[in-house]
Chain A
Amino acid sequence: MSVVVQPMPEVNPLQDSLRFARRVPPCAVVIFGASGDLSRRKLLPALYRLFYERRIPPNFAVIGSSRTPMSDDQFRERMKDSVSKFLEDAPFDEDVWRSFAQSLFYVPGDLSNPESYEDIRRKLDEVEKSHQTAGNVLFYLSTQPSHYAEAIQELGAHHLNQGNGWRRVIIEKPFGHDLKSARKLNDDIHKVFSESEVYRIDHYLGKETVQNILAFRFGNGIFEPLWNRRYVDHVQITAAESIGVEGRGAYYQEAGALRDMIQNHLSQVMATVAMEPPTVFDATNVRDERAKLLRAVRVMKPEDVPTYAVAGQYGPAKVGGQDILGFRQEPSVDPDSQTDTYAAVTFFIDNWRWAGVPFYIRTGKRMPKRVTDIAIQFHAPPLGLFTQETKAGPREVRPNLLVLRIQPEEGISLRFLSKSPGSGMRVRPVSMDFNYGSSFGERTPTAYETLLVDAMAGDPTLYTRQDMVDASWQIVEPILDVWAHTRFNFPNYPAGTWGPKEADEMLARQGHVWRIP
């Protein structure tokens, strides 16, 4: 047997990663569902901003496709309105838009109609010549999830999964409705695209502050030694929204809080907080560690679900003098809906580092404010030498708390005790704050900017892999199964509050209380 040794590609000695921006190769981005909310609010503003900052090359084109009949110019006009309206933390520049708009094209079509894919192929051939996109194509499925499999199959049937350059596909969440459907979807995708060409997007992982968790943990020597069961009492992850379902009642009714947030975003955040250090900071190693962590999460037995998981649904309330509808009163929502608009779960990670440490995750709609953070509560000192000064009088000291704020005021704060001025040894908690925005004056890219550049550059580090998706479905599925067979006494929390009392009781059983973020 002879072995053919391929020559190693020459490492480019002229590259200067300290000064050069991450290079995006020439490519075309095809967005299915281009007239939808996600495209208008997130994708096009992100692409425009990347263009504004010259982070995407001139040899670049966007082809939007959806059922709405529109010309290229009408699509450009509509997207201009959206970009100028939804651009975050940056001004809109007419001149830059005019230049960007020359790269925007539109192909009307129905995902179930094979002709549409031929139209897209023709447009891709056109832009490959006119915009020199080198045959590289990134497909973005921003459609109804029920169309993913069909769209992928048609892309394969029309040979759009291969060409002169690379082909990649970004798939939005939800990735399946349960473990079985997620695996079926994976199988369908793998018939057309290889795993290395599939980019399952979880925009939480693209947030700068979520990425900063890795920098914070593995770039500093002082925290990692404390990052284990010896020092950490418990962890609370909160993702609260002050808004309701905002016209998405029909979709949300099918999803619910557990599926919509915990199965994907928050389980990935938990994996980022709790994973082991990768040996090398690259896509494979980082994702291996995330997947390993998710596989170590204890899968609940059905009889444990009522103890470790709480479902909630908001009811009507008056908030700030304004009447707020309950979930069941929202348009397109079943008046007897059993959908969870709030979910709180206690997870345990059965590995050497975290054994016995509860990870409390809660998410809900119509909470008092919009906030996402992770709080690591450390053990109290072994001996209480001091009493803490409070308005209600002295009480036991509160343990140290490290809060990683994801949004809205991105940053990190550490709560510790300090002596109150004056005579006597009374202590009170003070907070040492790091604010992301003030220390780095430059504008923070949005999650979609980061993730789009990564996909175009072929870096899947911040995208979820099939085994991660499987593992996260495995940990929530027993809860979903039990809840599907439970008749809840909904609504069980009024809009504008921090959730049902059962969630407080869940923590109280472990001797803990929810923070008020």
Chain B
Amino acid sequence: MSSAVISPAQPEQILKGLGKLWTSLGEEEKQHGKPTVLRACTMTLIVATDEPDGDFSSAQTISELMREHPSRGIVLAVSPDAEQALQARLYAQCWKPFGKAQQICCEQIEITCRPESWPNVGPILIGLTAADLPVVFWCRHKAAIRPFSTSDQKAGLEAVMSIATKTIVDTREEDPISAMRLLAHWKTLGRPFGDLEWTRLTPWREPIAHIFDSSCGNNPLSSFHTIEIAHTDDHPCASVLYAAGWLSAPYKANVSFVKTKGFGPGLHRIRLRSDSETIEFERTSSEGMTLRSTNGRERSYTYSEPTLTALMTEELSVIGPDPAFMAAFDRVQEMM
């Protein structure tokens, strides 16, 4: 269900439109004679995008995310082709949980603006955030996080980040050195952030971490003094750097990188060496990973490239401090 276009986009009008939207959903309830719709919201999720198909893919991803993280979604589509300098449209995203009669609905606001209007969006967003709940900013506007972003993009980015509890970016397609510099700058400004390149590491990190649980009786992590990370790109991408930072942060182990052929972009193999044991965790096919130890241990895992929805679902579940990520990030800064 959606509303008519609201132009120019003003918070009062948008909120009024949302009120009408919920009233119309309530009318359906009256017709059915029982509650059919439940309004749910645990945060405000703002998505800024400059992708040509951004409107569709962002809305689609948000609707998928709603199932685990019901939120007031605000898609900010920055496009030179926008008809108006600033306009808004409202939607209700509804789904029916398995086995339940009642639909759960979240509201979604789509704001379209021209690039030069982006810096003016900040005050509108402040008026639209759900009261007293976290505000997460997912920046899919690639140009805005690149070194030569325009002053409008910088100001627009800052306008949204200033109201966000956390900003999430994906540095996969970015130059890792520039990306790390930008994130370090955000850190000095006290802006909490997450990077989906770190989130992509979870399927790697979890089995490796498990090896060092005391109940597993392996050599302690402190005995592994050398770490070798193999990657398939020409240069180590952000997730490769994060893996190095994560593994070497506790005991400052030596890290080296090697380029190799593999089954997809990014990380291909992690090798940990101690004086008595070598552990390897490697992608062995497009859908499999194998963990091997010179102590004779071997175990296979299935692997599938995490979808954007899966990555965001995980990242949205960590709204507060993320000590493991910060420790890895700080170590990457030391290594650079």
A interface residues (Cβ-Cβ under 8 A, vs B): 9-10, 12-16, 18-21, 23, 25, 58-59, 88-91, 435, 437-443
Contacts and interface: CB of A to CB of B under 8 A. Distances in A.
B66 A441 contact: yes
B236 interface: no
A14 B67 contact: no
Given A89-B98, A435-B38, A438-B38, 19 more contacts: A12-B209, A12-B213, A12-B221, A14-B250, A15-B209, A16-B205, A16-B209, A16-B324, A19-B206, A19-B324, A20-B209, A25-B216, A88-B99, A90-B98, A438-B70, A439-B42, A439-B70, A440-B68, A441-B97
Contacts of B38: 435, 438
Interface of B: 38-40, 42, 66-70, 97-100, 104, 202, 205-206, 208-210, 212-216, 220-222, 246-247, 249-251, 299, 314, 317-318, 322-324
Which 6 residue pairs spanning A and B have beta carbons closest together?
A: A13-B250, A14-B209, A9-B214, A438-B40, A16-B324, A441-B67
A91 B99 CA distance: 10
A14 B208 contact: yes
Contacts of B247: 14
Given A438-B38, A441-B70, A14 B104 contact: no
Contacts of A88: 99
Contacts, number: 85
Nearest to A11: B214
Residue of A13, A23, A89, A443 with highest tally of chain B CB at under 10 A: A13
Nearest to A91: B98
Given A19-B314, A19-B324, A442-B68, A14 B246 contact: yes
A20 B202 contact: yes
Given A58-B299, A89-B98, A437-B97, A442 B209 contact: no
B40 A20 contact: no
A15 B216 CA distance: 14
A13 B40 contact: no
Contacts of A21: 206
Given A10-B222, A438-B40, A441-B69, A15 B213 contact: yes
Contacts of A89: 97-99
A18 B221 contact: no
A75 B208 CA distance: 35
A47 B42 CA distance: 30
A155 to B, nearest CB: 23
Contacts of A440: 42, 68
A14 B216 CA distance: 14
A18 B40 contact: no
Contacts of B39: 438
A23 B210 contact: yes
Contact of B40 (A12, A59, A91, A441): A441
